[in-house]
Amino acid sequence: MGPGPVMVEPRVYEAMRQPIVSHVDPYFFQVFEDIRALLGPVFGTRNPFRMVISGTGTSGMETAIVNFVEPGMKLAVFANGYFCDRISNIAERLGAQVVRLEKAWGETFSEEETFEFVRREKPHVVAFVQAETSTGVYTPGKTIAAAAREVDALVIGDCVTSLGGMPVNVDENGIDVAYSCSQKGLSCPPGLAPITCSPRAMERLRDRKRPAPSFYFDLKLIDDYYEGQHRYHHTAPISMFYALREALRIVDEEGLENRFRRHRQNHLAFVTGVEAMGLEMHVREPAQRLWTLHTPRVPEGISDVALRRRLLNEHGIDVLGGFGPLAGKVLRVGLMGASSTRENVLLLLEALESALRAEGFSLKASGREAAERCYAEMGWPE
Ligand code: PLP
């Protein structure tokens, strides 16, 4: 129950046992077409350009940057956590001019400061992280995209921890390039990075004078492999495509509305439970909290390492701690994909209660009981 990878759906493991075909076999391209069709609703987009990059979430990030940011271009980064720093790092290595709007870890950006920053900097591209896994903060991106449109900047959104667990709404929010991963809200093993690009982004790609500086992540070459002539570019990890197709079919069968409701209700019950015990959520504003990744604050005087050791050794539950400015201050609890269940929420709250007590914290009330009442009020299961 950490920030990912999360539990893999049994049907996904089963799908991975299917025989390997060649990466230029027509059957493989059919698998890819199925994935492309199923990715549209999950991303919330009608963009025809929907691809899968062979690699983890970072490969999606690198692909977005090396194709749409060129040396000397100005990239404006909305910086409020670790993964925003990684975006900046990749762009700086490329020789881009990176400018940042800094926020404390756990906060997001007001409309006023968003517009002021973009109008002042007039960047070619802006980048933000929709679901910051280091802090638990949700930034949908609509305001950022509206500001970017004013100066004709392209919008890159990191949707690694939102896809499959919360609304990404690529089209509605105005995100031009959105990428994600397979191992979080989609409940696959790590290894693939879904990506989608708007027609506006595709125009920029076509207008590039020089080829992207990375062969492996060159979207024009990758597009030529999956589309067009199916010209060999690299050997696609076939089993992972079987896995992703099955995971997306599971999302489709559950229905996005139901899936989002499940994540939201488990999120609310978990928050109710930790607050009842006397803990605080690091992200103060409820509407800015992710439904997939939770950051309850570790109480003063309690060691997060000792707490997590008890959870793991005594209860078999793995959650992670904070890092950077949040080291020792928060737990990072993932409730996403197949891991987002009522059973897991109640199990974790009970284990947390016992671990906190053993570490000398006096609980205000039972978290598990509060969560059970919350489920009853929400009418779970419907
Ligand atoms: N972006 C965000 C928001 C993430 O949480 C992560 C990983 O957790 C990444 C990017 C990088 O993904 P990966 O570790 O799969 O390469």
Give the model confidence (pLDDT) of 238-260 as tens digits.
999 999 999 999 999 999 999 99
State the fold for domain 255-378: Aspartate Aminotransferase, domain 1 (3.90.1150)
Tokens 């691809």, residue located: 51
Per the structure block, which two tokens stand in for 20? 């390997």
Q: Collapse the DSSP code of 141 into the 3-class scheme (helix H, G, I; strand E, B; otherwise coil) and give the result.
A: coil
Q: Where in the chain is the domain with CATH 3.90.1150.10?
A: 255-378
Write the DSSP symbol of residue 11. Answer: H
pLDDT band at 381 (very low <50, low <70, confident <90, very high): low
Q: Where in the chain is the domain with CATH 3.40.640.10?
A: 10-253
CA of 217 relative to ligand 1 center, distance in Å: 17
Class of domain 10-253 as given by CATH? alpha beta
Pocket test for ligand 1, best of 6, 58, 85, 333 (most atoms within 8 A of CB): 58
Ligand 1 neighbours, Cβ below 6 Å, are: 3-4, 56-58, 61, 83, 129, 131, 133, 158, 160-161, 181, 190
CA of 381 relative to ligand 1 center, distance in Å: 32
Q: Which pLDDT belongs to residue 380?
A: 72
Ligand 1: which residue has its CA nearest to atom 7? 57
Question: Given the DSSP bridges, would you call strands 74-79 and 125-129 parallel, antiparallel or unpaired?
Answer: parallel
CA of 57 relative to ligand 1 center, distance in Å: 5
Ligand 1 atom at minimal distance to the Cα of residue 4:
8
User: Burial of 128 by CB count in 10 Å (0-12 exposed, 13-18 middle, 19+ buried)?
Assistant: buried
Tokens 């194709």, residue located: 67
Interatomic CA distance for residues 273 and 353, integer angstroms = 10
Interatomic CA distance for residues 273 and 234, integer angstroms = 48
Nearest to 245 by CA among 42, 39, 95: 39
52 and 195 in contact (C-beta within 8 Å)?
A: yes
| pLDDT tens figures, 161-180 | 999 999 999 999 999 999 99
In this predicted structure, which of 39-48, 192-201, 219-228 has the lowest mean pLDDT?
219-228
289 and 267 in contact (C-beta within 8 Å)?
A: yes
Is residue 119 over pLDDT 60? yes
